[in-house]
């Protein structure tokens, strides 16, 4: 049973909706800017891609505020029987911050299961669901699991919801690991020094092709294939040779039943850390051997949105498939030698029906997806 994507929405530092994200990317202006939400004086960076509409002083968590904007059951036509997959790394961690800083609430309120309950309530679903967390590959893994449930005939409607926010907890942690660039992140640039954090929420409703047709849904794309792997190598750094991500990519191509030459472009994880970007390019060159493929990263533009990254980047890749061009890699000025011919500082025209989206996370977790443009 083919898994098709029928409804979606997203919220990034460029604003609400795919059009805001797309025009922001094409503007080549980064949404990364100085952080005003908490003091950053002691950290190695002072910038992130945050959303002005969020207010940390509100009772609702930052993720909760984002999800209220994204999860409109009527607009997304979310069926009550949809199985919900929530993808996040730390979810409502700001509730734990508040509690430990002497504010209201309890640390337990930050548990991912609580957020899943809230998501189901917001969506008006029956409450069947699962939290999927796979570090920064969380929503790539959740999309894979959603497509698998549909392909296996175990569900015919799955809602994937993804969110993560910029908090003092996360910012201080990445700073302690010396993983942040003091400038806005510069993926695939030879001067890259680290990542920039970002926040986002997104939702995608997947259905079996049969149910989508029965309900008269407009099909945007198929989640055609996926691959998941683990480096089993290091807690915070990727395997240097890219073999884990290459294995996930090969699995995704096999699962989709397409050849490497069928892929029009790659939406890279592209964090802007020296090791990640180098590892990714090694992986791409192991799999796409015939020629360099048009490749981009959105993380210089909207920051690294952690558990939301995979879904946000899938929706942007879908838009790129339809538009017939990929966005530039924002902040890319001096292309790293290893990325020459792959990443570009300008938008690039592409043709084809299939795109690959890859993500990688702490603990060596890799995800790869193949999405296919549908013609309906």
Q: Give the binding site for another protein (CB under 8 A).
A: 39, 42-43, 89-91, 93, 96-97, 100-101, 107-108, 110-113, 116-117, 120, 127-135, 141, 145, 148-149, 151-152, 154, 168-169, 172-177, 227-236, 244, 247, 251, 255, 361-365
- Contacts (Cβ under 8 Å, ≥6 apart) of 202: 8, 9, 10, 11, 70, 139, 161, 162, 163, 308, 311, 312, 315
Of 41 and 216, which has the nearer Cβ to another protein? 41
- Closest CB 87 distance from another protein, rounded Å: 10
Of 229 and 295, which has the nearer Cβ to another protein? 229
What are the tokens at 302? 């909207």
Cα separation, 264 vs 260, in Å, equals 9
Of 27 and 230, which has the nearer Cβ to another protein? 230
Of 89 and 331, which has the nearer Cβ to another protein? 89
Segment holding 87, helix H or strand E: strand 83-87
Distances (CA, A) of 231 to 194, 217, 309: 21, 39, 20
- Closest CB 14 distance from another protein, rounded Å: 27
Q: Are 58 and 104 in contact (CB under 8 A)?
A: no
Cα separation, 280 vs 93, in Å, equals 29
- Closest CB 322 distance from another protein, rounded Å: 29
State how beta strands 197-198 and 263-267 pair. unpaired
Q: Does residue 304 carry a catalytic annotation?
A: yes
Cα separation, 123 vs 147, in Å, equals 20
Cα separation, 97 vs 227, in Å, equals 35
Where residue 303 falls (left for φ over 0; alpha for ψ -120 to 50; beta otherwise) is left
Q: Are 229 and 251 in contact (CB under 8 A)?
A: yes
Q: Does residue 136 carry a catalytic annotation?
A: yes
State the residue for tokens 């048009």: 294
Cα separation, 331 vs 47, in Å, equals 14
Of 227 and 327, which has the nearer Cβ to another protein? 227
- Closest CB 47 distance from another protein, rounded Å: 18
- Closest CB 134 distance from another protein, rounded Å: 5
Secondary structure of residue 200 in the 3-state scheme: strand
Find the catalytic residue in 136, 163, 183, 354: 136
What are the tokens at 241? 């040779």
Cα separation, 193 vs 180, in Å, equals 7
- Closest CB 83 distance from another protein, rounded Å: 10
Secondary structure of residue 338 in the 3-state scheme: helix
Find the catalytic residue in 8, 269, 319, 354: 269
Find the catalytic residue in 8, 183, 304, 354: 304
Of 84 and 278, which has the nearer Cβ to another protein? 84
- Closest CB 141 distance from another protein, rounded Å: 6
Of 168 and 280, which has the nearer Cβ to another protein? 168
Please give the distance of CA 16 from its chain centroid, rounded to a whole number: 15
> Would you name the residues annotated as active-site residues?
136, 269, 304
């Amino acid at each position: 049973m083919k898994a098709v994507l029928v409804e979606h929405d997203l919220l990034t530092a460029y604003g609400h909706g795919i059009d805001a994200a797309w025009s922001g990317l094409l503007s080549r202006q980064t949404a990364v800017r100085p952080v005003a939400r908490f003091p950053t004086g002691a950290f190695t960076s002072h910038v992130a891609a945050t959303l002005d509409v969020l207010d940390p002083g509100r009772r609702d968590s930052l993720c909760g505020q984002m999800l209220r904007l994204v999860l409109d059951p009527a607009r997304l036509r979310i069926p009550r029987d949809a199985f919900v997959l929530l993808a996040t790394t730390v979810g409502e961690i700001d509730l734990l911050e508040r509690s430990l800083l002497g504010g209201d609430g309890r640390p337990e309120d930050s548990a991912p299961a609580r957020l899943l309950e809230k998501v189901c309530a917001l969506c008006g679903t029956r409450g069947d669901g699962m939290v999927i967390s796979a570090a920064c590959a969380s929503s790539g893994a959740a999309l894979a699991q959603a497509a698998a449930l549909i392909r296996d005939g175990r569900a015919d409607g799955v809602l994937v919801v993804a969110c993560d926010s910029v908090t003092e907890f996360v910012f201080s942690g990445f700073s302690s690991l010396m993983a942040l660039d003091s400038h806005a992140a510069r993926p695939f640039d030879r001067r890259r020094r680290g990542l920039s954090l970002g926040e986002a929420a997104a939702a995608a409703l997947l259905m079996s092709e049969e149910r989508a047709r029965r309900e008269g849904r407009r099909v945007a794309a198929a989640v055609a294939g996926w691959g998941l792997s683990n480096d089993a190598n290091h807690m915070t750094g990727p395997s240097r040779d890219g073999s884990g991500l290459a294995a996930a990519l090969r699995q995704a191509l096999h699962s989709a039943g397409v050849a490497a030459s069928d892929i029009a472009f790659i939406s890279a994880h592209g964090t802007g850390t020296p090791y990640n970007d180098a590892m990714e390019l090694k992986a791409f060159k192991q799999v796409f051997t015939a020629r360099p493929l048009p490749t981009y990263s959105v993380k210089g533009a909207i920051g690294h949105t952690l558990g939301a990254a995979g879904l946000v980047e899938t929706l942007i890749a879908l838009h790129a498939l339809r538009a017939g061009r990929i966005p530039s890699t924002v902040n890319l000025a001096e292309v790293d030698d290893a990325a020459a011919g792959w990443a570009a500082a300008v938008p690039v025209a592409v043709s084809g029906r299939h795109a690959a989206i890859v993500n990688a996370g702490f603990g060596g977790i890799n995800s790869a997806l193949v999405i296919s443009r549908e013609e309906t």
